[in-house]
Homo-oligomer: A and B are copies of this chain.
Amino acid sequence: MAVYNFNAGPAVLPKSVMLKAQEEFVDYRGCGYGIIEESHRAKPFEEVIQAAEANFRSLLNISDDYAVLFLQGGASLQFAMVPMNLAIPGKKIGFCDTGEWSHKAIKEAKILGNEIDMIYDGSADKFSHIDGIANWKFDKNLAYAHICSNNTIYGSQYLIYPNTGDVPLIADMSSDFMSRPFDINKFGLVFAGAQKNIGPAGATVVIMRKDLAARCPSTVPTMLRYTTHIDQGSLFNTPSTFGIYMIRLVTDWLVGLGGLPAIQAMNEAKAGKLYAAIDACKFYRGTVDKGSRSLMNVTFRIKEGDEDLEKKFVAEAKAAGLIGLKGHRAVGGLRASIYNAMPAEGIDALVEFMNAFAKANG
């Protein structure tokens, strides 16, 4: 039986990448031991981290004004590192609240004593859409403005990005990073935990305008300063070496596919097919309005939220090899996370299962 992994992250990785990593796991390209055992200061690993950075620079057309950093701690640590480094005393931080991960970022900014300017608050509509992005207004005195580009839990996604003028735009892209093209020059800093689209958990990618790093006050610990990692090429201390190796393989795979326009087309086709199946059948209901639907995390419910039937759906899907379809515990319902590495066959199998389940239980 084919198994498809719809987990929200850590998540499915490209099959060819998994096989390559397995093949060279105990003997990396003839060196006699695994890359996981290699010194982060040795040539084979230097080559890995440089290739990974070069892939990001090429896929996103990143100029030398920006640093590409490989850090640890996930988005959750970035929620603290961003204000620790980029807040400015006396200035507010702008936030656009589109769900759970925005809340967490806001919480950390407040713990650090910052005042918040809430640019957008989607809570009244239970985060079922992201509205009027083109008209959002950002006070020019903000230290920076923070968005979460894709909301893994609610299943909504920015289809366009706001115009913040001269205010640096910071984006938590954890769950849609490298799933579609974007113009890095519109951002001050983007960050992403690797474990959705680009690699395993424990590696975090930060791409930032180098000049912003100068804001960091001297009271911030060395490991939590972006300047440390910019100056040391992400090798101030031992990074997640195997994680970076996997990111290198995944980004090699992305380059081989034809880059971000190619993966975007594939993602649009996969998500399009799944949303069409949901919309075509009265048994299911998408939880996010058209126009804000995520290409990565497809959230839906059965009828008016029949929880028993949803449990049955999750269990029967699992028995059929379709894993991880339970919605996040904060919102319930169902969710299919269909990141870059989810093959089209996985979508076909899910749609087939959904139709059969609706017929049997509708």
Q: Give chain A's interface residues, CB within 8 Å of chain B.
A: 1-3, 5, 7-13, 15, 18-19, 21-22, 25-26, 31-34, 36-40, 42, 72-77, 79-80, 84, 104, 107-108, 111-113, 193, 195, 200-203, 218-224, 236-243, 246, 321, 323-324
Name the residue on B nearest A81 (C-beta). Answer: B221
Q: Which of B5, B40, B223, B240 has a CB less than 8 Å from the CB of A80? A: B223
Contact: A76 with B32, CB < 8 Å? Answer: no
How far is the CB of A240 from the nearest CB of chain B, in Å? 3
Q: How far is the CA of A2 from the CA of B193 in the complex (A)?
A: 38
Q: Which interface residue of A39, A42, A203 has the most chain B CB atoms within 10 A?
A: A39
For the complex formed by this chain, how many copies does it contain in all? Answer: 2
A37 and B22 form a contact (CB under 8 A): no
Q: Which residue of B lies closest to A107 (CB)?
A: B222
Tell me whether B11 and A18 are in contact (CB under 8 A).
no
B12 A37 Cβ-Cβ under 8 A: yes
Report the Cα distance A323→B2, complex, angstroms: 42
A317 to chain B, nearest CB (A): 13
Chain B residue with Cβ nearest A196: B238
Is B37 touching A7 in the complex (CB atoms < 8 A)? yes
Known: A7-B39, A75-B237, A76-B222. 17 other contacts (CB 8 A): A3-B33, A10-B37, A21-B25, A22-B22, A25-B25, A72-B74, A76-B223, A79-B222, A80-B223, A80-B224, A111-B218, A113-B219, A195-B241, A202-B202, A202-B239, A202-B243, A242-B242
> Could you show 15 A-B contacts with beta carbons less than 8 Å apart?
A2-B32, A10-B37, A10-B40, A12-B37, A18-B25, A18-B26, A18-B34, A18-B36, A33-B323, A72-B240, A74-B238, A77-B237, A108-B221, A112-B219, A200-B241
Cα separation A72 to B203 with both chains bound (whole Å): 9
Q: In the docked arrangement, what's the CA distance between A31 and B203, Å?
A: 24
A240 vs B12: C-alpha distance in the bound complex, in angstroms?
16
Majority SS at the chain A contact face: loop
Q: Which of B42, B73, B240, B323 makes the CB contact (< 8 A) with A243?
A: B240
Residues from chain B with a CB closer than 8 A to the CB of A113 are 219
Q: Do B76 and A237 touch (CB < 8 A)?
A: yes
Cα–Cα, bound, A37→B223 (Å): 28
Chain B proximity of A3: nearest CB distance (Å):
3
B residues less than 8 Å from A19 (CB atoms)? 26
> Which of B11, B26, B40, B220 is within 8 Å of A37, CB to CB?
B11
| Across-interface contacts of A112 in B (CB, < 8 A) | 219, 221
Q: How far is the CA of A12 from the CA of B33 in the complex (A)?
A: 8
Give the 4 A-B CB pairs with smallest separation, nearest first: A3-B32, A202-B240, A80-B221, A76-B237
Q: Which residues of B contact A224 (CB under 8 A)?
A: 77, 80
Contact A240 B240 (CB under 8 A): yes
Contact B72 A238 (CB under 8 A): no
By a CB distance below 8 angstroms, the chain B residues around A75 are 237
- Cα-based distance from A220 to B72 in the complex (angstroms): 18
Q: Which of B13, B36, B201 contacts A34 (CB 8 A)?
A: B13
- List chain B residues, Cβ under 8 A from A12: 33, 37
**Residue among A15, A113, A240 having the largest count of chain B Cβ atoms under 10 Å:** A240
- Measured between beta carbons, the chain B residues less than 8 angstroms from A34 are 13, 18
A60 to chain B, nearest CB (A): 23
Nearest chain B CB to A166 CB, angstrom units:
27
Q: Write the nearest CB–CB distance from A130 to chain B, whole angstroms.
A: 23
